Each structure stands twice: as C-alpha cells, then as structure tokens.
Amino acid sequence: MAGEERQPGYWRRLAGSVPGLRPAYRAVRSACWRLRDSAADGWWLLRAAAPFGLLSQQRVAAVWGEGAEGRQRAQHGGATLWLDSPQVLRGYVFPQFQGKHWYQYLADRYCPQPRTRGLSLCCGDGEIERNLLRFRICQMCEGLDVSSRAVELARHQAAAAGLADRLAYRVADVERARFTPDSCDLIVAWMALHHLRKLGHIFREVKRALKPDGIFIINEYVGPPRFQVPDDQVACINSLLASLPEELRRKPDGVTIKDRFVRPRLSEIIRHDPSEAVSSHRILPQLRRHLAVVEEVAYGGAILQWLLAGIVQNFREDHPHHRAHLERLYAAERDALQNGRFASDFAFVVAKRAPGT
C-alpha cells in the first residue's frame, strides 16, 4: 500500500543473515555484470566488422559533433558537469596542481619554452589547442577528430581567435591513423582516450611520433567502463546528495529535483554513444606498458562527478552556505580516496618515451 515501508525480499534477508553469503552474492553479481558488459561490447565490435557497422561509426561521429557544440554552450554559462564549473575547478581540482590552472601548470613545469609542434587527438571544438597556444605551451598544433562537424567548428573558432595560421585541423580516425616518426614535441589527449578501443595501437603511434624529448599529456576519465559504478559508490553518492537542501538539487529545468543518482543502464549508454567509456579501465595499464610515466595526478571525481552532474550550476560562489556545502563534499571525496574506499575516476598524466626507445 502507498506509504507502507517496503520490506526486503527473501533473498536479500537471507543474504543478510547467513555469514559469507552477501560477499558471495556480490561476487556473482559482479561477474554477471562483467559478462554482460563483455557480451555487449562484443556485439558492438561485431557490428563494426559487419557491412552495417558503418552505422555505429556514424553515430559516434554524430555524437562527438554534438559534444563539440555542447562544449561551446558550457563555456557560455551552461555548465552542468563538475569539470565545466570554474568554481569546482578552482576549489577542488586546481589545488592539486599547485593552485594553478592545469595549462599554466603544464607551461611552468614542462614547457618553460614553447614546444615547436603539437598534436591533439580527438580535438573536439578546438578549445584544447587554443589553450595550448594561449598558455605558450606550443607554437603550433594540429588537431584530429573523427567528426567533420567538430573539425569545422574548431576551424571556425581558430579563425575567430586569429590563430588559423598556427592551428590546423583535419578529419581522421586516430584508431587507424599512422603518425610520422619523431615529428612532435608534444601530443595531447584530453578527455578522449576513454572513447577509444584500440589503445595499444594509439600508444604505439604516439611513441613513434614523439621526439626523444617530447611529452605525451592525457587528462582522462579512467573509472569503471561504461560508467558501471559499484553499489557502495552509488550508496555514498546518494547519501551525500540527500544531505543537500532542495534548492541545490534543482535540475537545469528549474523544476525537477535530483533525488538520487542511478547507475546508467548499459544499453542506454551504448545506444547513445557506442564509444562511451568503452576502455576507460585499460587506459593507465596500457599507457604504462608503452610509455614511461613522468607524473600522474589522480584528482578524484569518484563522488563529485556523479553527485554534481545536472546541479553544479546551483552552487553560487558568492553564497557562503553554498560554498560550505561544496567544501563538505570536497572533504568527503578526499577522505574516501585517501582511505582507499574508492579509486580516482580521473587522472592527469605526463609521459614520454622510455630511455633508449
């Protein structure tokens, strides 16, 4: 009946009463999830090899084009994701980079003199390349993207900024591209690699293209593939979400209240973007296999990215109570990461060719 407290089912009560049964149940369920994920990814891999596989590739290109336009809206006050919020960047992310904007951190630490030629993988709307020049990290840069829509937008933005003579863009699939050996001082992949499956090929090509003193920079989501967040992480996110006042949980429509975070359904993710977080968990192991890591900053996101999604725009920097709530959320994530309860879902890494390679 309405308003009546729902009682746990028989199997859940049994799991709670028999010692050792709950961990076994969770292990079996986790194995089923992995099997389901593997089957789903295998199906999309089969589609890519089939004559109609072009449809899924076209879908990915279309989504990336839409994403490039979405980035433009976020830069003009439409931020709804945690890393699109200047307040969150200043208050939580940048303190992990000596209090500096990450481009300024790169410039000061690794590029005291601008590097000659850069290459950007999956460039999107071109914001990354414009920042590389703006912060004097490199003198010129080429951007590659599978979406012609994104490349067109990047070219337009470069021209508007007066940088068309130093920024070049072309449509290319980086999973199949071959790079010129010893041609780049700097290669960047910014929130791109978690969309790519052929990481071994990409890292081998990056290694080939880097000059002996060149550096490879990634800023990436490296959390659970397909965003299949574990149960204990979901529970923590929802506990913190429930502690926020209603005014801070209002979604962009101004009416709907975000009551809880629900793990995205695998089928919905793949239907929207077949490439989304397809190999996120393999990025760091594959990177370490092919290149030498110079620096790695695991800067969080296990809680904040999901909790703040769709509501981050409600937190006003000039409002002391809003700032206090954000600081409490920052502290909760820092504590969870430091205690090893959760792993960081995002990583900023600088790598290079190993000596003698």
| Same domain for 244 and 161 | yes
Note down the domain range covering 34: 10-48
Is 310 inside a domain boundary? yes
Both 44 and 61 in a single domain?
A: no
Distances (CA, A) of 352 to 141, 189, 214: 18, 14, 6
- The angle, 0 to 180 degrees and rounded to 10, between the axes of the packed helices 148-160 and 54-73 is 30
- Pair 22, 85 in one domain: no
Same domain, 172 and 31: no
The answer to whether residue 4 sits within a structural domain is: no
Residue 132 lies in a domain: yes
- Same domain, yes or no: 217 and 342: yes
Could you tell me the CATH number of the domain that includes residue 183?
3.40.50.150
Among 352, 120, 355, which Cα is nearest to 215's?
352
197 and 88 within one domain: yes
Residues 147, 43 share a domain: no
Shortest CA distance to 264 belongs to which of 227, 290, 291?
227
pLDDT tens-digit profile, the chain (357 residues): 334 434 455 666 665 677 776 667 666 765 665 565 555 555 544 444 443 344 455 656 666 556 555 555 445 456 789 999 999 999 999 999 999 999 999 999 999 999 999 999 999 999 999 999 999 999 999 999 999 999 999 999 999 999 999 999 999 999 999 999 999 999 999 999 999 999 999 999 999 999 999 999 999 999 999 999 999 999 999 999 999 999 999 999 999 999 999 999 888 888 888 889 999 999 999 999 999 999 999 999 999 999 999 999 999 999 999 999 999 999 999 999 999 999 999 999 999 999 877
pTM assigned to the model = 0.81
Is the Cβ–Cβ distance between 323 and 107 less than 8 Å? no
Residues 165 and 40 in one domain: no
> Does residue 357 belong to any structural domain of this protein?
no
| CA-only gyration radius of the chain, Å | 22
* 29 and 75 assigned to the same domain: no
Contact by Cβ (8 Å): 310, 259 = no
Domain check: are 125 and 269 in the same one?
yes
91 & 226 share domain: yes
Same structural domain, 217 and 335:
yes
Q: Which two tokens stand for residue 56?
A: 């899924």
